[in-house]
Amino acid sequence: TPHPAPRSGTAPLTALGAALVHVALTGATGFLGLRLLRRLLDTHRSVTVLAHAGSGDALHRISRFFELTGSPEAFIAQLPRRLKVVETDLALPRLGLSRRVFQELADSLGTIWHGAGSINLEGDLPELRRTNVEGTRHVLELAAAGRGAPVIRHVSTAFVAGGRRTGVAYEDELEDADGFENAYEQSKYEAELLVHAWSREHGRGVLVLRPSILVTDQPPHPELPSHPLQVIERILRDARQAAGEPHGPGQDGRLPVRTVGHPHGRLNLLQVDHAADLMVRLAGLTPSGGVDTYHIVHDRDVPVPTVVALLERLVPLSIDLVVTRPEAPSAMEALLDFYPGMTAYLAHRRRFDDTRVRSRLGPSAACAPVSLDYLWSGLAARGTVLPRPSAPAPALLPCSSYS
């Protein structure tokens, strides 16, 4: 397969010269990937960005992110010299590169961060496998081909824990006995199985990082990547528009919706910048030589009623948590059932154990609580006036920062 022609701002590998590119990153233009890239640039002179061929000018998108989030002009000006963009297709063998270019890339690397993936909760399993499973397989093939035996940092998800809704999910667990809430969870589980098999076959260590639901208080912008809660907001708006209001809105103008959930449920939401900090710090620790797995999670879960209050702010709904699905669902309630796994999380009461992370990083692994207003700030358009809280919010310490 021929190597796609470089786009504006990209550098063919032959132009890298004698300097080795020690680190490569997939998913660098994504919600988490941009934060990882920022921290990798703190410790590496240059980074190879393995960008998806045909997805647009990666260098421009990266530069715009740093501009919009307030990075220094001098830092942004250096990006064309510090970033080497190679266009690839993770779904194809050799990442869609020619044999020569693939081998040259593999031999140039000391570390590969694999952060690319699809988080499409609406996707079917074959579609998600192409990106999340086959993409991981081809990145592992890149690592196996390198003469310098590059190390792998694999970004998974805490939700490989699957459909078990109570109890504790431990970092060393990887099983499918309880099934999965959606195809996304299953595809990431299968990708982790590949990582374990690769580690055993090659006798090489791998770092597996399992973040929970990543959030931000950065207001949305059309040139910034969307995050999971924005995706859920879109699903709710689309469903409400498609369903209409056959029964009419409630007295307050909100559409009543019953959905299965638990009033004492909880979800783990973590600030994305803090997640990137933890990942890079963990990557700097001495590895065991096997598969080292860490839950990148918040030490305090967000109560489900807080999540419900957020959804009601986003879309004019009145959400009622019920034990079982309604026998005669409304059009809106029936439509929500077509989005597997979205509302299912409102019934979760499990906890993700992160003892290993806290034992390695100490108090710096903790972060400020994720409040309703924090979540709203990351979803409300710029200039939107935030609803006044009913009671003064306690002063919060900022998350640790290592950049």
pLDDT bucket at 120, cuts 50 / 70 / 90: confident
Half-sphere exposure of 29 (CA within 13 A, CB side): 21
pLDDT bucket at 280, cuts 50 / 70 / 90: very high
> For residues 171 and 210, is the Cβ–Cβ distance under 8 A?
yes
159 burial level (CB within 10 Å; 0-12, 13-18, 19+): buried
In this predicted model, what pLDDT tens digit does every residue of 57-111 receive, in sequence order?
A: 999 999 999 999 999 999 999 999 999 999 999 999 999 999 999 999 999 999 9
pTM: 0.88
Comparison of pLDDT for 18 and 390, the residue scoring more: 390
Which of 117, 118, 114 minimizes the C-alpha distance to 143?
Answer: 114
pLDDT bucket at 227, cuts 50 / 70 / 90: confident
Neighbouring CB atoms inside 10 A of 219's CB total 15
Tokens in use for 269? 């939401």
Q: What is the 3-state secondary structure (H, E, C) of the chain?
A: CCCCCCCCCCCCHHHHCCCCCCEEEECCCCHHHHHHHHHHHHHCCCEEEEEECCCCCHHHHHHHHHHHCCCCHHHHHHHHHHEEEEEECCCCHHHHCCHHHHHHHHHHCCEEEECCCCCCCCCCHHHHHHHHHHHHHHHHHHHHHCCCCCEEEEECCHHHHCCCCCCEECCCCCCCCCCCCCHHHHHHHHHHHHHHHHHHHHCCCEEEEEECEEECCCCCCCCCCCCHHHHHHHHHHHHHHHHCCCCCCCCCCCEEEEEECCCCCEECEEEHHHHHHHHHHHHCCCCCCCEEEEEECCCCCEEHHHHHHHHHHHCCEEEEEECCCCCCCCHHHHHHCCCCCCHHHHHCCCEECCHHHHHHHHHHHCCCCCCHHHHHHCCCCCCCCCCCCCCCCCCCCCCCCCC
Q: What is the pLDDT of residue 14?
A: 40
Q: Where in the chain is the domain with CATH 3.40.50.720?
A: 13-215+269-296
In this predicted model, what pLDDT tens digit does every residue of 318-376 receive, in sequence order?
A: 999 999 988 998 888 888 776 656 678 999 999 999 999 999 999 888 889 999 999 99
According to CATH, the superfamily of the domain at 13-215+269-296 is: NAD(P)-binding Rossmann-like Domain (3.40.50.720)
